Amino acid sequence: MTVTATSVDESDQLKPQAAPASRLARLVRLVPAAVAALSGVLLYVSFPPRTLWWLALPAFACFGWVLRGRSWKAGLGLGYLFGLGFLLPLLVWTGVEVGPGPWIALVVVEAIFVALVGAAITAVSKLPAWPLWAAALWIAGEAVRARVPFHGFPWGKIAFGQADGVFLPLAAVGGTPVLGFAVVLCGFGLYEIVRLVLESRSTRVVRRSAAAVALLSVAVPVVGAVAARSLVSDKAEDGTTTVAVIQGNVPRAGLEFNAQRRAVLDYHVKETLRLAARVKAGKVAKPDVVLWPENSSDVDPFADAQAYADIDAAAKAIGAPISVGGVVERGGKLYNEQILWDPVKGPTDTYDKRQIQPFGEYLPMRSLLGAINKNWTSMVRQDFSRGTKPGVFTMNGAKIGLVTCYEAAFDWAVRSEVTDGAQLISVPSNNATFDRSEMTYQQLAMSRVRAVEHSRTVTVPVTSGVSAIIMPDGKITQKTGMFVPDSLVQKVPLRSSETPATKLGILPEMALVLVAAAGLGWAIGAGVRRRRAGSV
């Protein structure tokens, strides 16, 4: 009896000690998940309006740490957490006026692509030179996300967070895929260097080939970016033109401003007339080209005589052609259109937006969404139709390529204007529905990347700001505040030479997708061979 009592006492003493150990083990198992989510947040912090572009490197270094050597199932979950950490704060602006439902739904879907990339990276992480395959897989994921569903959503491409970074010149080499690949490769390479250093300290063995690959993963992107600076120039090749960017402002922020489209048109006419008075007084240089933003005339000037007369009066007062952003109905179809308005001839040319925004300019699955919530269908009563041709306006001898707002996120939409002869790019936008969120700064960074990618001056006329003038080297020379009427006037260079990125087009992205496929195929084949060997 005495022995039994002692055994019970010893057992009771052991139980309280086992519980803390068990809790500690559970906490340790949660560390990779926490690091994955926080790494995604770190990647978000690297994006505009902050200029902390370099934080993308430790973000991917930490992401590499949580993925390397794990199962594909673990990679799927960790990748999803990384995607949520990154995209939830990055895309919060999508719910500014419509509530959290659409914002959460968008992030939940987009994070799936990141999850799939995470699962694929776990497979290639066992291969030699794994940072190369892993970085290529990330770009392959971006390529898919830029195309599906609903014609894609490229927002959040790694390249768009690098407008202030040392890697930016690589955009001129191979566009956003090469720029993004360099950043991701460098991040994974940094982790591999740290891992190999720690490994060599514990084993006293230096794996030279692995160390060389890790060092090259960091060195090649940096050296390549330095070498690519020779491709970046803001010198005029075809003379100069003086542009005026008009920001008329809106009566108030939010979706309601569309119900006040007459006031928005009046504001842009008024700001143009104010600029004309300053030009007449000799305070500002006379512009050769005047650029209005998207939705600056939601009153169809082809159907409304007063709107036609007001725009015509503004063009005559300033004495220069105006690119007017209008909403036009033609043949029973609705178009988001840029209209070239000559001070003498009136409207002479048009460009219809080709990459229209799902759930903003057209409603996919309209009947299904209407059954869920009738308010959603009432917000987009009629779908916009897509344009079919690039838009390059000849304005006082300068060829201006039009890329309307959302289109700036799509590689093909910008490149097509340059290959069609654009010497300058204009990105007319309307960000009023997103209030003072980070959206306008994220979009402005895209335009800076596009300037370097194609070596063109880029102007960004926005209804409510931030409007800006960007040189071909990506530097902003002038910009406005938000929700104020203003105008920017500047002599800018015209350029016609094509960067390697412009000439190559989709080829760099295709090459990186093939590299990703080759690495994944190698990893899957190696895994199959290991399983067969183990079963023998």
Residue of 294, 361, 453, 509 marked catalytic? 294
How far apart are the C-alpha atoms of 519 and 486, rounded to whole Å? 52
How far apart are the C-alpha atoms of 411 and 456, rounded to whole Å? 15
Cβ atoms 209, 128 nearer than 8 A: yes
DSSP string, 258-299: GGGHHHHHHHHHHHHHHHHHHHHTTSSPPPSEEEPPTTTB-S
| Helices marked H in 146-260 | 171-203, 208-227
Per-residue model confidence (pLDDT) at position 381? 77
| Residues facing residue 489 across a β-bridge | 244
| Residues facing residue 336 across a β-bridge | 327
Per-residue model confidence (pLDDT) at position 2? 45
| Alpha carbon separation from 243 to 105, 239, 247, 272 (Å, rounded) | 40, 13, 13, 13
Reference 326, options 352, 358, 306; nearest CA is 352
Q: What pTM does this model have?
A: 0.92
Q: Cβ contacts of residue 457 below 8 Å, gap of 6+?
A: 234, 243, 424, 425, 451, 469, 470, 471, 472, 492, 493, 494, 495
Supply 458's token pair: 């880029």
Cβ atoms 57, 88 nearer than 8 A: no
How far apart are the C-alpha atoms of 486 and 249, rounded to whole Å? 8
Helix (H) or strand (E) holding 65: helix 56-67
State whether residue 450 is helix, strand or coil. helix
Cβ atoms 385, 336 nearer than 8 A: no
Helix (H) or strand (E) holding 133: helix 130-145
Q: Is 353 in the active site?
A: yes
Per-residue model confidence (pLDDT) at position 13? 52
- Beta-strand ranges (E) seen in 414-533 are 424-426, 457-460, 468-470, 476-479, 486-493
For residue 243, which phi and psi values (nearest 5 degrees)? Answer: -105, 150
Distance of CA 486 to the CA centre of its chain: 26
β-pairing, 476-479 vs 468-470, is: antiparallel
Per-residue model confidence (pLDDT) at position 6? 46
Per-residue model confidence (pLDDT) at position 4? 46
How far apart are the C-alpha atoms of 291 and 468, rounded to whole Å? 11
| Residues facing residue 350 across a β-bridge | 339
Give the count of beta carbons closer than 10 Å to the beta carbon of residue 100.
Answer: 10
| Residues facing residue 458 across a β-bridge | 425, 470
Q: Give Dmax over CA atoms of the chain in angstroms.
A: 113
Residue of 110, 399, 405, 479 marked catalytic? 405
Q: Is 333 in the active site?
A: no
Q: Is 62 in the active site?
A: no
Which of the 8 DSSP states describes residue 384? Answer: B
Per-residue pLDDT of the chain (536 residues; tens, 9 = 90+): 444 444 445 545 545 555 677 777 777 788 999 999 999 999 999 999 999 999 999 999 999 999 999 999 999 999 999 999 999 999 999 988 777 888 999 999 999 999 999 999 999 999 999 999 999 999 999 999 999 999 999 999 999 999 999 999 999 999 999 999 999 999 999 999 999 999 888 888 888 899 999 999 999 999 999 999 999 999 999 999 999 999 999 987 554 545 578 899 999 999 999 999 999 999 999 999 999 999 999 899 999 999 999 999 999 999 999 999 999 999 999 999 999 999 999 999 999 999 999 888 888 877 776 777 666 676 777 889 999 999 999 999 999 999 999 999 999 999 999 999 999 999 999 998 888 999 999 999 999 999 999 999 999 999 998 999 999 999 999 999 999 999 999 999 999 999 999 999 999 999 999 999 999 999 999 888 888 887 65
Residue of 110, 157, 353, 407 marked catalytic? 353
